[in-house]
């Protein structure tokens, strides 16, 4: 199996949610309920990942999601 489920303590951490729409809203609400400081953006910029413990993309353009994923992995930040 290439992937495993994980549990993260997101209390008092910064989490980036990239995209817009219902799926993005649900992710942001879930992370906020876990105590994260959620940063929302529709367009990706690498500086948005500064200080992030987690990044997620939903409802963004494929090119934006690819950029988010590549930069998050380069920095060692888990990305969904």
Which residue did the predictor score with more confidence, 64 or 2?
64
Q: Whole-prediction pTM value?
A: 0.92
Q: What percent of the chain has pLDDT over 70?
A: 99
pLDDT tens-place string over residues 7-42: 999 999 999 999 999 999 999 999 999 999 999 999
Specify the pLDDT at position 4. 82
- Read off the tokens for 76: 């060692």
Specify the pLDDT at position 37. 98
Specify the pLDDT at position 76. 97
């Amino acid at each position: 199996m290439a992937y495993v489920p994980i549990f993260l303590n997101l209390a008092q951490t910064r989490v980036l949610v990239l995209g817009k729409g219902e799926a993005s809203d649900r992710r942001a609400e879930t992370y906020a309920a876990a105590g994260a400081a959620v940063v929302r953006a529709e367009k990706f910029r690498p500086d948005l990942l500064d200080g992030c413990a987690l990044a997620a993309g939903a409802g963004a353009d494929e090119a934006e999601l690819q950029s988010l994923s590549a930069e998050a992995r380069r920095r060692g930040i888990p990305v969904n």
